[in-house]
Amino acid sequence: MKINYDINRIRWLDFARGIGILLVLLGHILPKSNIISIIIYSFHIPLFFIISGYLLGQKTFSELKYSNFIRKRLYNLLYKYYTLSITMMIVQLIICIIFNDKITLVSDLINIIILNGFYATWFLPCIFFSEQIFILFYISKYRYVMIFVALFIIAILLIISKILISYALISKIFTKILSIIIRILFGSLFILIGFYSKKVIDKKSLKLLIFSIFILIINFVSCRFNGEVDLYYNIFNNILLYLYFSIVTSICIMYIFSYFNAYNIFVNYFGVNTIIIMSTHLPFIWLLRKVEFLKYCYFIQFLLVLIIEYIIINLIKKYFSIILDYKKIKNLVKKCQTSKKCNF
């Protein structure tokens, strides 16, 4: 298990991503009502947004050309979103044919087109658009006012969507679009928090470490009072409690990992490959649940998914790297054009 580290990568952040993605896997395997699942869902996806905000805080925007930034993120997130979504849709289609299950090809394609994602790939366009809204927050003179405006819009959209859904006044697609907008607005708030929490996280203080550990334990014990939450389905129960647990727990975890400069080759390996794992794991969890004796063996399911993901990561990087790297397509097109000219 090798990691070819870019000199600019921050190892403890990859460790945090690794812990985050392992918790995503575990959260999707365990029943939603399980206390461990409730703890995981209280912060696991916001953690990734806050990490993104922290990384945006590495450079000032005066040092960063927006056009270059958006181009890089388009290729890194949206290109991978479409290639990984379509790849996994084909994989699931094959699984459905083998097990004679219901094929949902049309609805899957619609979800991919409207950026609702194929399973967990929704996260990639969500973080992309959340970053763009964060930049609007950042460059605005009224950035703090805009935070309250965003929260107000979220609240209004949640109320409207619940009313319209309860009276069956809107189509499923429009409901999904409303849900996507709510996720993006939440994501932009988490990124904003990550950006401004960088100075605190970078401080090395034993008092802050002890305080972070104490608050983390309190949050793990008390988050169950807000019940089952899920950013994807816009289930927040008490929104203020949801924001508190997701933000404070994530920052405490990041501070602890930063303080100890946490690193583990296994965890970091999964942290470096978060996008692949996030995009590919759910069809295989669904497949493992079809095996009767594994249905309630959650730990065995977890281990098997880790093994499957390790194989997938290596297969994609070795044989199907075109899925991750748009430059491979450009090179392929150039080769085809060159060979045609030569033949001519």
Q: Which residue has the higher pLDDT, 146 or 26?
A: 26
Name the amino acid, one letter, at 126.
C
CA distance 137 to 117: 26
> Do the domain assignments include residue 308?
yes
Q: Which residue has the higher pLDDT, 170 or 108?
A: 108
What pLDDT score does 76 carry? 85
Phi, psi for residue 284 in degrees, rounded to 5: -80, -35
Q: Which two tokens stand for residue 297?
A: 């063996």
The tens digit of pLDDT for each residue in 266-302 reads 999 999 999 999 999 999 998 898 888 888 899 999 9
> Do the domain assignments include residue 271?
yes
SS3 category, 116:
coil
Q: How far from 204 is each of 257, 261, 312, CA to CA, in Å?
A: 11, 11, 38
Mean residue pLDDT across the chain: 88
235: which strand partners? Answer: 230
Domain containing 301 equals: 11-338
Classify residue 157 by burial, with Cβ atoms within 10 Å: 0-12, 13-18, 19+. Answer: middle
What average pLDDT does this structure show over 315-322?
A: 91
Helical H segments across the chain, by residue range:
11-29, 35-41, 44-56, 66-73, 80-98, 105-113, 123-139, 143-166, 172-201, 206-222, 239-259, 265-272, 274-288, 298-319, 326-343
Asked if residue 62 lies in contact with residue 135, where contact means CB atoms within 8 angstroms, the answer is no
Least confident interval from 27-31, 129-133, 263-267, 329-333: 329-333
What pLDDT score does 100 carry? 85
> Do the domain assignments include residue 249?
yes
CB atoms within 10 A of CB 139: 10
The tens digit of pLDDT for each residue in 32-71 reads 999 999 999 999 999 999 999 999 887 655 555 677 778 8
276's CB contacts (< 8 A; 6+ apart) are 84, 309, 312, 313, 316, 324
- pLDDT band for 72, please (50, 70, 90 cuts): confident
Dihedral sign for Cα atoms in the order 55, 61, 62, 67: positive
Please give the tally of structural domains in the chain.
Answer: 1
Indicate whether this model's pTM tops 0.85. Answer: yes
> Do the domain assignments include residue 233?
yes
CA distance 183 to 130: 8
Least confident interval from 43-47, 102-106, 254-258, 278-282: 102-106
CA distance 179 to 184: 9
SS3 category, 60:
coil
pLDDT surpasses 90 at 133: no
230: which strand partners? Answer: 235
Q: Vertex 292, ends 286 and 298: CA angle to 5°?
A: 60
pLDDT surpasses 90 at 171: no
> Do the domain assignments include residue 168?
yes
What average pLDDT does this structure show over 249-258?
A: 98
CA distance 240 to 252: 18
> Do the domain assignments include residue 328?
yes
